[in-house]
Amino acid sequence: IFLSHFFQFLDDLNRWSGLLISPFVHPERLLPAEHIAFVTESISAQTENLQRGPDSSKEIVKWSDFCSPLAYKPGEPFKLIAEASVDNFSSLGIAFLEDRLQMENGMVPHRIVSVHLEESFLKELAREAPSAKEKSSDMDAVTPAGKSGLGGAEEEKSKLEEEKEQEETGAGEHHHLHLSSCHECLQLENSTIESVKFASAENIPELPDDCSSRTQEEEDQCLQKGFKRINLAGKPPNILIYLGSEPAKGRFEQVKSVLRECIDAECYALYQLHQEQVLRDPWADNALLLLIATEEPIPEAIHRHFMQFLSRGGKILAFASSFTFGGVQIKRKNELRKVVHELVVSRQDSTEVKLNLLVSGCVFEEGMKGDGSRVRVLSRLSNADKDTVIVHLAHGSSGGEAILSQAHLELDSNSMEVQTEEDFNLLKMSNSKRYEVLREILTCLGLSCELSEIPELTPIYLLSPDEEIHLAFLKWLEGNVDAEGLRASSKVSLKFVSSRESKVEVTPSLVPVITEMGSFSSEHFSLQTYQQHLQTKKLGKILLFTEVTTTTMNLLDG
């Protein structure tokens, strides 16, 4: 999470220690007004949390090269206050978002939040700063196991609670950590965000102030009050696709495409889970569904992690995989491999559906000695042996469950596995039933398969509440676009046009930006209301507004 508008209390001062190299020791040397103060939260590599370590294939950015540390708080998450210039803060943020940010203490960056430091806080922390004799070095002391020796915890806690109460009732002044000279950032947080809220037809959901709770359970409950789409398991809406050691991009796109045809694409994000990430990255608490789509043997260590995921209430769907557990084992039948077979699937309403699918060449055997997992047969082949090809297994007491299929629900008639024209025709005729069965399976695992209509992409409007700034920005653009008005980037190119009369089609890779403000109108945003509530001198004066886009992440890439 990279936030620049999130109010953050720095709790009891007894938990924080100033560093010898920081201006806290000499509070008369406060941060320059053009610098930004921020908190970096990091976690140990073993802690199961959202972020993973830096991608070694990309250029690594060292945290300390772009900022000056001011104070730290040990524990989980480990917190560091630092200051940086606007450019350096931007560089840190980009590196963080691209998984290229590296901490010196071996921890994994988890969150970056800009804050405001009040002069009173700096001076109080400076008074408590340890002497050079008490600490042999500055950054060496910044370790997860470090201890803080500041006192007055209960008194400070009482102060913060009183300040929080004043803020909620509108009394008193804000006592978040603000630097008195950083007026522009203060105005951005207090005014620009409010301005957007007022200008939007659908107000940004209010999150309770106590969302800074230390327990994940309480934090999840806070978030649930503010957002509509919350799954019953309380996990982030991520679907991870595990393909073993296969690096093939095509296979991932194939499985991803099939899933997108079945689930509500607005509710879930799909990612590939690479083999090395299973053991290295903390993914288990941050995924709703793990889809296993490889015939490779599952290494024992990876199998243990998958079982831990189930024990925590995770869901697993496996296509033609060797993964199994409990009272079920796999039996190989080579005569079934790469051949289309008819199977009968039992539906939740006790009816049955028959369809033809490719089979992996393996079937499930029941009645083996297991671990008490509850097994239910969902589908058998229509052959003499009535071989079991799809089973449902429940595991643990937290709602973990898995549906394992030796039928290729992800493959259609265009698959390279199809060898005869007869098989091609059988699969083509069963295609609609295949999606029907797959949607029922995904629904059984707790996913929403109500398909919502995907709205058409819309152009971007370049807006400004200040006409002079708008004209100045257009003047700057003249030297920063090509002769056709194109601003190209690696993912999305922006085509600057004067009005909607320019018939430029909106695509995921090319978006027209309309610079004439007179033609702008929207049911969801009022520029006039935004202008009325905007109090800043510089920030928030240029807006790019669009109603429908694939992602905002790529619009200004590069």
Asked if the model's pLDDT at residue 128 lies above 80, the reply is no
Residue 514: predicted pLDDT: 92
Burial 423-444 (b: 16+ CB within 10 A, else e): bbebbeebeeebbbbbbbbbeb
Asked if the model's pLDDT at residue 226 lies above 70, the reply is no
The per-residue pLDDT of the chain, averaged, comes to: 75
Integer Cα distance of 390 and 328 in angstroms: 11
Asked if the model's pLDDT at residue 353 lies above 70, the reply is yes
Residue 228: predicted pLDDT: 33
Percent of the chain residues topping a pLDDT of 90: 29
- How confident is residue 203, by pLDDT bands cut at 50, 70 and 90? very low
For the stretch 382-432, pLDDT in tens is 998 899 999 999 998 888 999 999 999 998 888 878 878 888 899 999 999
With a CB cutoff of 8 Å and minimum separation 6, the contacts of 337 are 359, 360, 361
Fold of 238-445: Rossmann fold (3.40.50)
Residue 472: predicted pLDDT: 93
Asked if the model's pLDDT at residue 331 lies above 50, the reply is yes
pTM higher than 0.85: no
For the stretch 170-187, pLDDT in tens is 333 333 333 434 455 555
Q: Which whole number is the average pLDDT over 319-345?
A: 89
- How confident is residue 133, by pLDDT bands cut at 50, 70 and 90? very low
Dihedral of alpha carbons 269, 274, 277, 283, sign: positive
Dihedral angle computed from the Cα positions of residues 188, 190, 196 and 202, in that order, rounded to the nearest 10 degrees: 150
- How confident is residue 372, by pLDDT bands cut at 50, 70 and 90? low
Residue 123: predicted pLDDT: 63
Integer Cα distance of 394 and 53 in angstroms: 33
Asked if the model's pLDDT at residue 11 lies above 70, the reply is no
In the three-class reduction of DSSP (H, G, I as helix; E, B as strand; rest coil), residue 100 is classed as coil
β-partners of residue 317 are 291, 403
Burial 214-235 (b: 16+ CB within 10 A, else e): eeeeeeebebeeeeeeebebeb
Q: Which whole number is the average pLDDT over 107-127?
A: 71
Q: Which whole number is the average pLDDT over 284-291?
A: 90
At residue 514, what is the residue type? Answer: I
For the stretch 503-549, pLDDT in tens is 788 998 899 999 998 888 888 899 999 999 988 888 889 999 999 98
For the stretch 12-53, pLDDT in tens is 555 666 654 444 444 444 455 577 888 888 876 554 434 444
State the span(s) of the chain assigned CATH 3.40.50.880: 238-445
Q: Which whole number is the average pLDDT over 357-363?
A: 91
- How confident is residue 79, by pLDDT bands cut at 50, 70 and 90? confident
Q: Which whole number is the average pLDDT over 289-315?
A: 93
- Which tokens hold the place of 341? 């077979």
Integer Cα distance of 273 and 291 in angstroms: 9
Integer Cα distance of 224 and 56 in angstroms: 35
Residue 82: predicted pLDDT: 86
Residue 126: predicted pLDDT: 59
For the stretch 481-514, pLDDT in tens is 898 888 888 888 999 998 877 778 899 889 999 9
In the three-class reduction of DSSP (H, G, I as helix; E, B as strand; rest coil), residue 297 is classed as coil
Q: Which whole number is the average pLDDT over 264-283?
A: 88
